[in-house]
Amino acid sequence: MKKRLMGIAGAAVVAMGAVTACGQAQSVPSSQANVGSASAAPIHLTLGMWASSPAEKQLVERQVALFEKENPNIKVSIQVITGNYLQALQPMLAAHDAPDIFYVDSSYAPTLEASGAIMPLDSFIKQDHVDLSDFQKNLLDAFTWQGHIYGLPKDMNTMALEYNPALLAKAGIQSPPKTFAQFDQDAAKLKAKGIVPLDMPIDVARYYPFIVDMGGSYYNKATNQATFTNKANVAGLTWFMKEMESGNFVTPQDQGGSWAGVPFAEGKAAMALEGAWIVPFMQQTAPKMKYGIADFPSLNGHDANMLFTVAYEMSKYTKNPDAAAKLLFFMTGKEALKMTADSGLAIPSRTSEQGEFLKKYPSYKGFVDGLKGAIPYQFGTLGQNFLDAINNATQQGILKKESAQQVLSQAQQTLASQMND
């Protein structure tokens, strides 16, 4: 879902930027001394979200109920946005009719933040003495644009190695690999037994850690530009393409699946590299299958990973910024995230709640461990054009057995052409 939503901003955001261009100055919060108290004037807020399941909406309802109990003059309505969340949210922002606070996925956060429709939180954070030290820096970076914080993360996800111990045992492998050097040795044993070693799509959302581990980078945040043709990217992409060409990695499409979880759940691959969303999928589709989750293997002595995270952000045009900030800080605060941790629906973003979460759900350890070296899955405001350029070039390059240099050059040319249209 994250990939599907990323960068769909397109023309709608351009239009939104035009509408909001006159309102770029950062708002300064007024005194919050009485906000939320019973004696203060009644305030009504709206919280916008998607709901991946009924349980997610129920969790938010419980969190909001606790907020209202602690702030008796503030009432909160929950607005579940169905269909394409971003495409629905953008017109609301352009019309100054968006919910006061709402979910924002890190993949398209820079596009919204650069549009001028999102309220910077810096002054509210300072006024409310919000403890940011409880968030890892990479989580905050995901919602920081041009030096300003626009959102606070509510949960997080990374990738880990899922493995089928029965298939590994058929090849004489007793434990999952900790490095990709070990993986290559295991892959040879598995292929000798006719077993697909690892299922993985040709998607930058999955293989980008290999680029970083080998010293490369596809994006420069300081300039908001793609850097596909940086020579440092060749080593990582060459390594990934060789893994694909050798059959160590096999795409889910080649095994009849839409994503790697499908063939893995069907026992068609010994391993997969996916996020924690695979856990409920396995519970539903392969409840009797025994599998394990290990840390994402190291490559070249490094432990890069991908960070997928969602924040609460605030509309620039909320009529009650102080109360909205209070709600936002509550929904990303310890009380609310403890409820998230207890529910098991998502990995809480606050470090202080992750320990308790793992005590109750120890199988998620690999995903929490991945946070340390994780890079936010976002490429500035380049959005879907960026993803299409590099993914199409990589897929075609592997199919045509091109070099990594040819793939990267093609991606750069395609992106430049798209951005000039």
**227 and 182 inside one domain:** yes
The residue with greater pLDDT, 34 or 26, is 34
Answer whether residue 24 shows pLDDT above 60: no
Q: Give 116-133 pLDDT, tens digit per residue.
A: 999 999 999 999 999 999
| Contacts of 176-179 spanning 24+ positions with Cβ under 8 A | 176/271, 176/292, 176/294, 177/297, 178/294, 178/295, 178/297, 178/298, 179/297, 179/298, 179/299
Mean pLDDT over each residue of the chain, to the nearest integer: 91
Amino acid at 68: E
Please give the average per-residue pLDDT across 339-365, as a whole number: 94
Do residues 207 and 296 both lie within one domain?
yes
- Asked if residue 140 belongs to a domain, the reply is yes
Whether 111 maps to a domain, the answer reads: yes
- 110/149 same-domain check: yes
Residue 6 belongs to some domain of the structure: no
Tens-place pLDDT, residues 379-406? 999 988 999 999 999 999 999 999 999 9
Residue 181 in domain: yes
Structure confidence at residue 366 (pLDDT): 97
Q: In this structure, are 255 and 334 located in the same domain? A: no
Cβ count near 372 (within 10 Å)? 11
pLDDT on residue 115: 95
Burial of 51 (0-12, 13-18, 19+ CB in 10 A): middle
Query: 175 is in which domain, residue-wise?
Result: 158-306+380-420
For residue range 278-289, list pLDDT tens digits in order: 999 999 999 999
Q: Give yes or no: residues 317 and 277 share one domain.
A: no
Give the pLDDT confidence score for residue 122 in this predicted structure. Answer: 98
Q: Which residue has the higher pLDDT, 82 or 20?
A: 82
Count how many domains the chain has.
Answer: 2
Please tell me the distance from the alpha carbon of residue 289 to that of residue 54, in angstroms, as a whole number. Answer: 26
Could you tell me if 191 and 302 lie in one domain?
yes
Ramachandran quadrant class, 10 (left: phi over 0; alpha: psi -120 to 50; beta: rest):
left
What pLDDT is attached to residue 20? 33
177 and 56 share a domain?
Answer: no
Rounded to whole angstroms, the Cα distance separating 283 from 265 reads 10
Q: Flag whether 36 is in a domain.
A: no
pLDDT at 7: 34
Asked, for residue 171, whether it belongs to a domain, the answer is yes
Which domain CATH number covers 145? 3.40.190.10
Are 249 and 141 in contact, with CB atoms under 8 Å apart?
Answer: no
Is the model's pLDDT at 19 over the cut of 80? no
Tell whether 364 and 385 lie within a shared domain.
no
Residues in CB range of 8: below 8 A, 6 or more apart? 84, 86, 87, 108, 383, 384
- The single-letter DSSP state of residue 52 is S
pLDDT tens column, 170-185: 999 999 999 999 999 9
18 inside domain: no
Give the residue-averaged pLDDT of 358-378.
Answer: 96
Do 77 and 180 lie in one domain? The reply is no
Instruction: Among 376, 395, 411, identify where a domain stops.
Output: 376
Q: 372 and 384 share a domain?
A: no
Q: Classify residue 57: in a domain, yes or no.
A: yes
Residues 156-172: what's their mean pLDDT? 98
Residue 29 — pLDDT band, cuts 50, 70, 90?
A: low
What's at 84, amino acid-wise? Answer: N
Pair 123, 61 in one domain = yes
Whether the pLDDT of residue 208 is over 80: the answer is: yes
pLDDT (mean) for 322-335? 97
Q: Are residues 259 and 229 in the same domain?
A: yes
